[in-house]
Amino acid sequence: MSSTNPNTESIARAIDPSLLAGEIAPGAQTDFPQMPVGQAVDMGHAPDGTPLLDPRIFNTMEFMRNPYPYYKIMRDHYPVFHDKLHNCYYVTRYEDITDCYFDDEGFNTIPKGSSSGVLGNTQLELSGVEHRRRRNLYGQHLVGQSLKNRVPAIERMAEDMISAWDGMSEEEGVETNGNVRRIQLGKAFANEFPIRVVCEVLGFPEEAQEDFYYWYNSMMSGLGGSATQKEGLEARQHLEDYVEGIVEERRVTPSYLYDADGKNLGKDIITKLCETKVDGDYLSTEEITSNIALVVGGGGETTRGAILNMWYLLLQHPDQFAAIVEDEEKWDLAFHETLRHSTPIGGQPRHNTFDLDLHGVHIPAGSLVNMVDFSANHDDRNFKDPETFDMFRDDLYSGKLLRSGYAKEGKCSHMAFGVGPHLCPGAWISHQEAVVGSKILLKHMKNPRIVTENMPKDIDGESLLPIGLISVRELWLEFDLS
Amino acid sequence: MSTQTKTGTPNDPVDHRYTRDITVGKNGVPVAKAKTSGGGYRTYEIHQRMRPGETTAKMTPTRLISDEYLTNPYAPLEVLRENYPCYRDWIANAYWITQYNDVTSIFVDDANFETRSKAWFYGIEGFGRDLGGEIPVLTAQATRIDENASAIAERLVDEMVTAGQADLALDFAARFPMELLGCALDLPEADMPKFIEQYWHMQRGYNWEPRSEQAGKTAIEELSAYFQALVDVRRANPGDDMVSAIAELELDGGPATGADVVATLLEADHETLHGGFANMWFQLLTNPDQLQVIKDDRRFIKFAWFETLRHSTPVINAPRFARHEVERFGLMLPEGGTVNCSAAAANRDPRIYTDPDTFDVKRKDMCQREPRGMYRADGLPAGIAFGLGAPTKHPAVPEDRPRSIYAITRDVVVTASNILLDKMPNIRLQDGATPEMRSLRIGEMHTCWHLPISF
Query: How would you classify the pairing of strands A256-258 and A264-267?
Result: antiparallel
Residues on chain A touching B216 (C-beta within 8 angstroms): none
User: In sequence order, what DSSP letters do the residues of A42-94 get, joined into one string?
Assistant: ---B-TTSPBP--GGGGGSHHHHH--HHHHHHHHHH-SEEEETTTTEEEE--H
The per-residue pLDDT for B396 is: 56
Report the chain B residue with the minimal C-alpha distance to residue A50.
B214
Residues on chain A touching B336 (C-beta within 8 angstroms): 351-352, 364-367
Which CATH architecture group holds B135-454? Orthogonal Bundle (1.10)
Amino acid at A318: P
Query: Span B221-235, mean pLDDT?
Result: 97
What ipTM was assigned to the predicted interfaces of this complex?
A: 0.86
Query: How would you classify the pairing of strands B22-24 and B317-322?
Result: unpaired
Can you name the CATH fold of A89-480?
A: Cytochrome p450 (1.10.630)
Examine the pLDDT at B11 and tell me if it is beyond 90: no
Report the chain A residue with the minimal C-alpha distance to residue B172.
A8
Examine the pLDDT at B7 and tell me if it is beyond 70: no
The per-residue pLDDT for B37 is: 37
The per-residue pLDDT for B244 is: 97
Query: Span B126-153, mean pLDDT?
Result: 92
Report the chain B residue with the minimal C-alpha distance to residue A240.
B51
How many helices (H) and strands (E) chain B has is answered by: 15, 14
> Other CB atoms closer than 10 Å to residue B355's CB: what's the count?
10
Taking alpha carbons only, the member of A380, A381, A310 closest to residue A343 is: A310
Q: Are B370 and B382 in contact (CB under 8 A)?
A: yes
Examine the pLDDT at B325 and tell me if it is beyond 90: no
Report the chain B residue with the minimal C-alpha distance to residue A349.
B93
Q: Are A203 and A268 in contact (CB under 8 A)?
A: yes
List the single range of B43-57, B147-161, B257-271 with lowest mean pLDDT: B43-57
> What 3-state class would DSSP assign to A442?
helix
Sorted by where each begins, the domain ranges of chain A are: 89-480
Q: pLDDT confidence of B304, banded at 50, 70, 90? A: very high
Query: Span B193-210, mean pLDDT?
Result: 92
Cβ distance of A117 and B49 shorter than 8 Å: yes
CB pairs under 8 A between A and B: 270
Sorted by where each begins, the domain ranges of chain B are: 1-34, 135-454
The per-residue pLDDT for A28 is: 36
Cβ distance of A54 and B210 shorter than 8 Å: yes
Q: How far is CA B297 from CA A80, A462, B301, B305, B306, in A?
A: 58, 72, 8, 14, 16
Query: Span B172-197, mean pLDDT?
Result: 96
> Other CB atoms closer than 10 Å to residue B5's CB: what's the count?
15
Give φ, ψ of B309 to 5 degrees.
Answer: -65, -25
Comparing CB atoms, the residue among B44, B92, B196 nearest residue A87 is B92
Residues on chain A touching B444 (C-beta within 8 angstroms): none
A118 vs B304, which has greater pLDDT?
B304
The per-residue pLDDT for B151 is: 97
Average pLDDT, chain B: 85
The per-residue pLDDT for A31 is: 65
What does the buried/exposed string (b/e) look like for A189-225 if buried means 16 or more CB atoms within 10 Å of the residue's CB? bbbbbbbbbbbbbbbbeeeebeebbebbbbbbebbbb
Residues on chain B touching A408 (C-beta within 8 angstroms): 27
A404 contacts: CB under 8 Å, gap ≥ 6 = A413, A419, B25, B26, B27, B29
Examine the pLDDT at B289 and tell me if it is beyond 70: yes
Residue B432 gets the label, from left (phi > 0), alpha (psi -120 to 50) or beta, of: left
Q: Report the distance separating Cα A293 and Cα A277, nearest Å.
A: 19
Cβ distance of B22 and A116 shorter than 8 Å: no
Q: Which among B9, B11, B24, B41 is the top mutation candidate for probing chain A, defined by the most A β-carbons within 10 Å of its own β-carbon?
A: B41
Examine the pLDDT at B172 and tell me if it is beyond 60: yes
pLDDT one-digit tens code per residue, B360-399: 999 999 888 776 666 777 777 888 876 544 545 555 566 6
Residues for chain B: how many in total?
455
List the single range of A103-107, B82-86, B433-437 with lowest mean pLDDT: A103-107
Report the chain B residue with the minimal C-alpha distance to residue A124.
B45
Q: Which residues does chain A have with pLDDT short of 70?
A: 1-3, 16-31, 110-114, 116, 224-225, 401-403, 407-408
Examine the pLDDT at B17 and tell me if it is beyond 60: no
End-to-end CA distance of chain A: 77
Comparing CB atoms, the residue among A25, A119, A353 nearest residue B441 is A25
The per-residue pLDDT for A1 is: 44
Q: pLDDT confidence of B4, banded at 50, 70, 90? A: very low
